[in-house]
Amino acid sequence: MAAENAVAIVIRTVPFGETSAVLTLFTREFGKLRVLAKGAWRPKSSFDAALDLLSVCQVLVLRKSSGGLDLLTEARLENRFRVGRSLVAFHAGMHVAELLDVLTADADPQPELFDVAEKTLLDLSSRDPSSDPRDDQVRALVVHTELQMLRITGHAPALDRCAECGGPIHAAGRVPFGMLDGGVLCERCRRGKRTVVAVSPDAMASLQSLAGTAESWRTIAATDATHAEIRAVMNTYLAHLVGRRLKMALLLAPPRRPPAPRPT
């Protein structure tokens, strides 16, 4: 049985015995793999720091043909996930890992999905917090990444045409968004539907922008209220899609800011 090379993102680690670990890797070549890394936590392990959560690494894997865990024999670090003291950026990276896990099946190669996730982790690691002290860009990047990952896996919400009939949306104010219907709804298709929320024009415009070009998240301008609304829409949509609330998604909403003091 020959070992196979792959580039991987470490999306989960679980201790196994005293020095070994069971890892979930999302690889560009083979999709999601569950592997045993023997001696991963030994002081002089050959894996070094390549197996840190959210690291991107080159791996050598012995693939099992009859189920069970694959065997990780080598790992060489390419990029380490480092976000300093930014808690929201750390939560964003962990959310990407959770999405890779829940949106994919084992051993289903999706190289475009890998590329999107890798770019997001690199963008988070290379971000300058001083240029965005309120973390608005991080929140915008997360939504952009979610929409790209949903598109690749075939679950992207309809944002500019009715998810039910494909017709144009003519709403002048808030737009109906059907969580079970897969996106926005025209007034005719909205009737009788359940689990529908009304999305504000600002939030809808931001979602449409973030679903577009790769760098749209860098320039989007939105208020805290709009960021909070977008986060609520995405959290609910993802929960309906995967059947449960995602843990990290709940930590990505902007904090409530105290009202400005009134002049006396």
Among 181-190, 222-231, 252-261, the range scoring the smallest mean pLDDT is 252-261
Name the average pLDDT for the chain: 92
Measure the CA–CA gap between 146 and 181, rounded to whole angstroms: 18
Report the CATH fold assignment for 87-251. Answer: de novo design (two linked rop proteins) (1.20.1440)
The residues near 169 (Cβ < 8 Å, ≥ 6 apart) are 160, 161, 162, 175, 184, 185, 186
Proportion of the chain above pLDDT 70, given as a percent: 96
Residue 221 has what pLDDT?
87
Please tell me the distance from the alpha carbon of residue 233 to that of residue 143, in angstroms, as a whole number. 10
Note the pTM of the prediction, 2 decimals: 0.92
Closest C-alpha to 149, from 199, 110, 93: 110
Fold of 3-79: OB fold (Dihydrolipoamide Acetyltransferase, E2P) (2.40.50)
Q: Are 178 and 196 in contact (CB under 8 A)?
A: yes
Which residue ranges make up each domain of the chain? 3-79, 87-251
Which residue type sits at 13? T
What mean pLDDT do residues 218-234 have? 93
Q: What is the mean pLDDT of residues 25-47?
A: 91
Rounded-to-integer distance, Cα 44 and Cα 33, Å: 25
The pLDDT of 42-70, averaged and rounded, is 87
Would you state the pLDDT for residue 259? 52
Whole-angstrom distance, CA of residue 230 vs CA of residue 234: 6
Q: What is the pLDDT of residue 261?
A: 53
- As a whole number, mean pLDDT of residues 235-264 equals 82
pLDDT of residue 264: 47
Residue 255 has pLDDT above 60, yes or no: yes
For residue 24, give Cα distances in angstroms to 106, 199, 221, 233: 10, 36, 36, 29
List, for residues 114-150, the tens digit of each pLDDT value.
999 999 999 999 988 777 777 999 999 999 999 999 9
Helices (H), 27-126: 87-102, 111-126
- Please tell me which of 19-28, 66-75, 81-90, 167-176 the model is most confident about, judged by mean pLDDT: 19-28
Q: Give the pLDDT mean for 88-109.
A: 96
Question: Residue 62: is it exposed, middle or buried by C-beta count within 10 angstroms (0-12/13-18/19+)?
Answer: middle
